[in-house]
Every structure is written in structure tokens, then in C-alpha cells.
Amino acid sequence: MILLTGGAGFIGSVLHWRLNQRGEERIVVVDRLRDGPKWKNLSGRRFEEFVDRDQAFAWLDRHGSAITAIIHLGACTDTTETDLDYLMAINYAYSQRLWRWAVERGRPFLYASSAATYGGGEHGYEDGLEGIERFRPLNGYAFSKQAFDLWVRGQAKRPPQWAGLKFFNVYGPHEYHKGRMASMAFHGFRQARDAGVIRLFKSHRPAYGDGEQRRDFISVFDCVEVMVWLLEHPQVSGLFNLGTGQARTFNDLARAVFQAMEREPAIAYFDMPEDLQGKYQYYTEAPMARLRSAGYTAPFRTLEEGVGEYVRNYLMKDDPYLE
């Protein structure tokens, strides 16, 4: 039985769908639904039990012997969150407790790190635990994720398999509940549909034209395939990048959205909000050699393939959920 934290969230619910596809139904979903629409991500999913985030450790005390692996995707992912105590409680201390449980019980432990830990990229984007102290996160969310990676590096006792995944810019179905933090593919589609134009940030750096900021955009479907592969290869451990290995511009992304909608591109630019200035990554690209050398060989979708699939198969449908 798999304990999946964040199982009603974006990446977690798509992984849940993929595990169900493979016949895995003994899944314990740990999350917090509150009064938002996130519950819809569990509609049609098969799972053993749903446990509130705050009750997870009490549940493990009673039933933990049945757990075969922990996949820890639950987190506060809001890059504009300013309550550092909250971020450290959810993204750091909670992760520590799950790690220690996995060590004590000898269970595999996969967890979500983030490409946000790389900060402005001035120290590169090389994954692994070596030298990670040199990275300078640009916001509290990234700081909390970096803090846990640093803590992991210092642990003499580790689970039999452990893997941290530095997710780059993930897009795909089931992210509608994320609000401002949803991908630009999601927001761009809605803008194109409702107003006929996609609005992108102006550049505030001379080296980049408007909309020419570059990110490593990756489909959530590719992300979940990597996690499934890790579960199938318990000998593989480490801190890995998870992107396509190719940075693309936001203009490219907007054009891919319009192409999938079979419309001519119409792009407008506006000033970046003040709360993001100085905290915004202008360039990210994931070196993927470490994951490849560990044995992962499957190709990643191109931006046009992944965005086209997302727009046509989900965003343009009345019922955009995974079946």
C-alpha cells in the first residue's frame, strides 16, 4: 500500500490516476481539501483511504505496517507565500517526520523538491546533493524546499530508496485549483479563449526581450512516468532534476497554445507585479544527465506536443478530468 501525500493536488492526482491505470488501488491519500474544488481531482480515482494531513502520523501509528512506500508530494507551493513559519512547518518539518518514519520502517521515500531552489541560476542547475549550499532561493517557498534538501544531505541514516525530484515548470490537467500558481499554459488558454489574446510579463532585464524569458516546461504526464519508474527501480536513489532539458520562451508557449486552438497568435505584454520583481526566474533549464545515467531512457514531450495534448484533450473539453 502506497502513502501518497498531496494525492488530491495537481501532480499527486495525476500520479494517482497513473497508478490506478497500472492496477494499483491500495493507495492512502493524504491531503487537505477544505472548501475548494480540489476534491474533483479524486473523482473517479480508486484508493484505500483518505486521511487529513494533520492526522497522517496518527494513522501511520495504527496502520503503518501495511505501507510499502511513501510518495511525498504534499506541500505549500505558493511562491508568493510570506509566512515562513507556515512554509517551514509544512515543507520542512512535516517532510522530516515522514523521512524519519521511512528510515525507521525501511520504506522507500520519494519526495518533491523544486527547481525554485536554484534561485536566479547564477550557480547553475546541476542536481545531486553535492554543492547545493551555493544556491540562493528567491522566495520563501524555494527556501523551505532548499532547507529540506540540505537536511537530507546531512542524514547518515536514509531510507532503502530515496529520491528527491526538482520539478521544473510543470503543466497539465488537474491544476485548475492552483489559482495564480497554475501554469502559464493553463492561464494562457483561458486568456486566449475569453479575450483572444495571451498576456505575458514584460522583461525588466535588457538581456531578455518581452516574453523571451525562458523556462524548462514539462508535461505532468512525463513527471509521473519518472516517479513510476523510480518505484520500479528501488536501487536508484538521489536528488534529480525533472525537466525536459530544453528551455523555451514564454512566447513559444503562447504560440503553442494558439496552435493547439487553431488560432493565429495574439500576444500582449504587461509589467510584472511588484511582488514578483526580484523573485522571478528569467531562465531555467534542467540538465538531465543524472537521471539518464541512472537508467531512465524514455523521451520527454516537446513543448508543442505536451501543450497541444493538454489544450486539445483537456482544456477544450467540458469535462477536463482524467478518466
Per-residue pLDDT tens for 158-182?
999 999 999 999 999 999 999 999 9
The verdict on residue 272 lying in a domain is no
Q: How many CB atoms lie within 10 A of CB 188?
A: 27
Q: What is the pLDDT of residues 169-215, one digit of tens each?
A: 999 999 999 999 999 999 999 999 999 999 999 999 999 999 999 99
Cell of 240: 534529480
The verdict on residue 240 lying in a domain is yes
The verdict on residue 162 lying in a domain is yes
pLDDT at 71 over 90: yes
103-117, 139-153, 195-209, 272-286, range with the lowest pLDDT: 272-286
Write down the pLDDT at residue 199. Answer: 98
Angle ∠(293,281,14) on CA atoms, nearest 5: 60
The verdict on residue 192 lying in a domain is no
Q: Could you tell me the pLDDT band of residue 81, with boundaries at 50, 70 and 90?
A: very high
Mean pLDDT of 91-104: 98
* DSSP state string for 193-255: HHHS-EEEEPP-STTS-TT--EE-EEEHHHHHHHHHHHHH-TT--EEEEES-S--EEHHHHHH
CA-to-CA distance for 305 and 307, rounded, in angstroms? 6
Q: Which domain holds residue 43?
A: 2-168+218-244+285-296
Give percent above pLDDT 90 in the chain.
Answer: 93
Give percent above pLDDT 70 in the chain.
Answer: 100
The verdict on residue 279 lying in a domain is no
Write down the pLDDT at residue 318. Answer: 84
Q: What is the pLDDT of residues 257-283, one digit of tens each?
A: 999 999 999 999 999 988 787 778 899
Q: Is the pTM of this model over 0.85?
A: yes
The verdict on residue 40 lying in a domain is yes
Q: What is the pLDDT of residues 39-55, one digit of tens each?
A: 999 999 999 999 999 99
Write down the pLDDT at residue 289. Answer: 98
CA-to-CA distance for 135 and 144, rounded, in angstroms? 13
The verdict on residue 271 lying in a domain is no
Mean pLDDT of 87-112: 98
pLDDT at 33 over 90: yes
Cα–Cα distances in Å, from 184 out to 46, 105, 163, 188, 217? 30, 40, 27, 5, 10
Q: Could you tell me the pLDDT band of residue 36, with boundaries at 50, 70 and 90?
A: confident
Write down the pLDDT at residue 275. Answer: 78
Number of structural domains the chain divides into: 1
Write down the pLDDT at residue 186. Answer: 98
The verdict on residue 258 lying in a domain is no
Write down the pLDDT at residue 114. Answer: 98
Write down the pLDDT at residue 278. Answer: 78
- Residue 163: give its domain's CATH number: 3.40.50.720
Q: How many CB atoms lie within 10 A of CB 248?
A: 20
Active site residues: 141, 178
Which residue from 294, 306, 314 is spatially nearest to 127, judged by alpha carbons? 294
